[in-house]
Structure 1
Amino acid sequence: MHEMSIAAAVIGQVEEAARAGGASAVTTVRLQVGELAGVVPDALAFCFELACAGTVLEGAGLVTETVAARARCGACAHEWPTGMPPELCCPGCARATDVELLSGRELQIVSVDWEDGPPGPARARTREPISEEA
């Protein structure tokens, strides 16, 4: 199950950013996951919860946003949703030789919500965008 290694990579990147930002706790991590990325969101959420134990992310929620797969034909510039499995023959001109996948392979940390400062009742919440891919 490669979702565990993905969860570990996400947690590592978020921990690094949280430490640099002075966070005491991470509350939410938002990811974009392309429908062609080969990631099962429920399995990723399960692995994320397990891998967060004992880290600054313990108890954090994982929010995944599915990104639909889209393609464009280089010959006629037609764009279409490819679906899963991807349909890479242009529905506009029936060519399959010059097709570009525009989206659907994403696996990216979009944002992280955390609490600033030392643990305690007077913590501020901060939302930090992280643009690195997991």
Structure 2
Amino acid sequence: MHEVALAEEVLRIVGHEAERHGLSLVTEIGLSIGAWSCVVPEALAFALEAVLAGSVASGARLDLETVPGRLRCGECGNEYAPEDRYEPCPACGRFGPQVIAGNDMIVRRVAGA
């Protein structure tokens, strides 16, 4: 379960942001999770609850947003949002597009007091 390692990295980022902004308590953490990132949101939430315990972010509300996958065709430049990242371009039929969204997990918000 790589979500524990991801949760530890989120804690590192949240701690850095809390220090940078002078927060003594983090009350909310917003994460964007790409549909193709191989992160299981429920497993990540469980891991975060354990990892954040006893930290400046203990008990923080988690706002997990799923970002749908988007592709750009290298041949015709068409952008599309298929169910599967391996689908060909619907405009020209070419395979092997570039992933432009949905592959990442990003800490997008750290709020507190």
The size of the alignment, in residue pairs, is 113
**Structure 2 equivalent of residue 105 of structure 1:** 103
Root-mean-square deviation (CA, aligned residues, Å) is 1.2
**Structure 2 equivalent of residue 39 of structure 1:** 39
Between 1:66-75 and 1:39-48, the stretch displaced more is 66-75
Structure 2 residue 8 is matched with structure 1 residue 8: yes
Q: Give the C-alpha shift of residue 89 in structure 1.
A: 1.1
Q: What fraction of aligned residue pairs are identical, expressed as a percent?
A: 37
Q: What TM-score comes out, normalization by structure 2 length?
A: 0.92
CA distance in 1, matches of 2:25, 2:55: 9
CA distance in 1, matches of 2:13, 2:79: 34
**Structure 1 equivalent of residue 95 of structure 2:** 96
Task: Give CA deviations for 1:48-68 in whole Å, capped at 9, x if unaligned.
Answer: 011111100111011111111
Please tell me whether Structure 1 or Structure 2 has the larger radius of gyration of its CA atoms.
Answer: 1
Bigger proportion of residues as helix: 2
Q: Give the C-alpha shift of residue 25 in structure 1.
A: 0.6
CA distance in 1, matches of 2:43, 2:26: 21
Contact kept? 2:25, 2:112, Cα under 8 Å: yes
Stretches of 4+ aligned residues off by more than 3 angstroms: none
AA at the equivalent of 1:54: G
Q: What TM-score comes out, normalization by structure 1 length?
A: 0.79
